[in-house]
Amino acid sequence: MGVHSITSVENHGIIGLWEMALTYGEIESNNQLSPSDLASLNGISNEARKIQILSTRFLVRAMDPDIDTNLLSRGVTGVPYFKGNKTKISISHSGKYVAVALSCHGKTGIDIEKIGEKVGRIQDKFMNDKEKECGYEQNLECLNEYQHVIWGAKEALFKLYGKGGVFFKEDLEVDPFKYIGKGYVEARISKSDFKQSFTINYERVEDYMLVYIFD
């Protein structure tokens, strides 16, 4: 268990990955948990959720030791933020990984998803006709990976927007692209109160798709 990678994204922020490989009991034995760490677990009985919370705190400290993880909280829509600290944060977890994006310059969004069959099964719920057409015409040999990039990009956009009430199929759109394992896509949010285009990075990490965005 520990830091998988910490990557600085020039002029934007930091991306971190933490691998969760220990049980909660092993974490307690191998780490001196602070009172604030223990307080963050108050009322939570699910061991997997406890590990995710502690892993997020450990990863944030490794990414920026100056950040007080006691300040980490969530807004009414579930968006994480630091009380009294201008650093923006986005969090995602899937399987054995926790992913965190930190930015001092603007909003951010991150998603990590274990590559499997689920995303393909629900493509009609989050992909428009143009996105599906690009998948079958340009990415048939890597359709599953392509679909995971679309899903991750829209999750990242949703987190960056942060206000809820977003319809993935109608309000978020990813331009046609050819999947190459690691690259970027152009995408946009089209809401009545917010219209903006973004460049979104993606990267396959083992059997996971990591996608992130900085404003």
Phi, psi of 115 (to 5 degrees): -75, 120
pLDDT score recorded for residue 41: 81
pLDDT score recorded for residue 45: 86
Confidence band for 32, pLDDT divided at 50, 70 and 90: low
Question: Is the pLDDT at 170 greater than 70, yes or no?
Answer: yes
Amino acid at site 137:
E
Q: Count Cα neighbours of 102 within 13 Å in the Cβ-side half-sphere.
A: 23
pLDDT in tens, 120-169: 999 999 999 999 999 999 999 999 999 999 999 999 999 999 988 899 99
Strand partners, 101: 15, 90
Alpha helices in the chain (DSSP H): 24-30, 35-40, 47-63, 118-121, 123-126, 129-138, 143-161, 168-171
pLDDT in tens, 53-106: 999 999 999 999 999 998 998 888 889 999 988 999 999 999 999 999 999 889
pLDDT score recorded for residue 92: 98
Q: What average pLDDT is seen over the chain? A: 93
Nearest-angstrom CA–CA distance, 35 and 28:
12
Q: Hey, what's the torsion of the CAs at 89, 158, 6, 18, to 10 degrees?
A: 90
Q: 103, 108, 112: which is closest to 14 by C-alpha?
A: 103
More confident residue, 27 or 109: 109
pLDDT in tens, 9-29: 988 999 999 999 878 778 877
Confidence band for 1, pLDDT divided at 50, 70 and 90: low
Question: Is the pLDDT at 175 greater than 80, yes or no?
Answer: yes
Q: Is 162 helix (H, G, I), strand (E, B) or coil?
A: coil
Long-range contacts for 167-175 (Cβ within 8 Å, ≥24 apart)?
168/125, 168/126, 169/125, 169/126, 169/127, 169/128, 170/128, 173/128, 173/130, 173/131, 174/131, 174/149, 174/150, 174/200
Q: 186, 188, 185, 175: which is closest to 133 by C-alpha?
A: 175
Ordered by where they begin, the domains of the chain are: 2-106 (3.90.470.20), 112-214 (3.90.470.20)
